[in-house]
Amino acid sequence: MNTLFGTKGTMTQTFIEGSRIPVTKINLGPCTVTQIKNEKKDGYWAIQLSLGTKKPKNITKPLQGHFKKADTTQDIKHHTFPRYVKEIRLDKEPTYKVGDVIKVSDIFKAGDIVSVTAINKGKGFEGGVRRFNFRGGPKTHGQSDRHRAPGSIGQTTTPGRVYKGKKMAGRMGGIQVTIKNVHVIAVNDATNEISISSPIPGRPGRFMTVTKTKSGSLHELKHEVVEVVVENTEPEEAKVDTAEVAATVVEESKN
């Protein structure tokens, strides 16, 4: 197990050996095991995890039966069920059982290198300049209304159509984005919170997946400080002793 689910929190900053590091907090877990996929029965090994809470009226009857069968209802009295359900593929049979709770400290620790996957913010309908960084049309020679136009989008009689996948204006954002090779700054087991050394796509509260890539160290985040030495190119005879000038000014003021 190297993956856990959570929701995005707020951003802040921290300092590591004098370097300022942007930090995003993620409420990671605790996740409850709701199902174990078997290689003989399902064709692959996988573990299904649930996160959050949701009212029964917003969950279908088959899914309610699935949660009751797994006995993973969050609140027996009010019958609240998990909000998110997602499975993780594994190479071999997992050691966890249905009903086990996986916490953030069971997988991650400070210094680990992780990848974060989430849905980024939707931007609505955008033009080609903002969506694909088009440079726009010419600014002179009478082109008064072509500054942000996309230009030609196809050929002539052959093929007589616009190719699929042509970059044009359209809906921007709302797609899955993965941020790789970011460090875990801190892990708070009491609040199930983890701090990541990078901005994370999506709005606060967005569901996201955090996968541990390998173990690392916080020393790798230290930024190299380049010392800039400014040499004085002023000639020796042009230099003025500031202390001598100040003493002269004082003498003249007394007189």
pLDDT tens digits along 106-126: 888 888 889 999 999 999 999
Cα dist. 57→54, 61, 79 in Å? 9, 9, 10
Q: Residue 161: which pLDDT band, with cuts at 50, 70 and 90?
A: very high
Q: Which domains does the chain have, with CATH numbers?
A: 3-122+176-221 (2.40.30.10), 123-173 (no CATH)
Each residue's pLDDT tens digit, 194-223: 989 888 888 998 999 999 888 777 766 654
Say yes or no to pLDDT of 67 above 60.
Answer: yes
The mean pLDDT value for 224-235 works out to 39
Percent of the chain with pLDDT over 70: 81
Per-residue pLDDT, 224: 33
Query: What's the rounded Cα separation, in Å, for the pair 216 and 166?
Result: 41
| 8 Å CB contact between 7 and 26 | yes
Cα dist. 195→41, 64, 102, 113 in Å? 38, 33, 18, 12
Per-residue pLDDT, 222: 59
Query: What's the rounded Cα separation, in Å, for the pair 196 and 12?
Result: 10
pTM for this entry: 0.71
Q: Residue 31: which pLDDT band, with cuts at 50, 70 and 90?
A: confident
Q: List the one residue out of 49, 31, 182, 207 whose CA is nearest residue 104.
A: 31
Least confident range of 13-27, 159-173, 208-222: 208-222
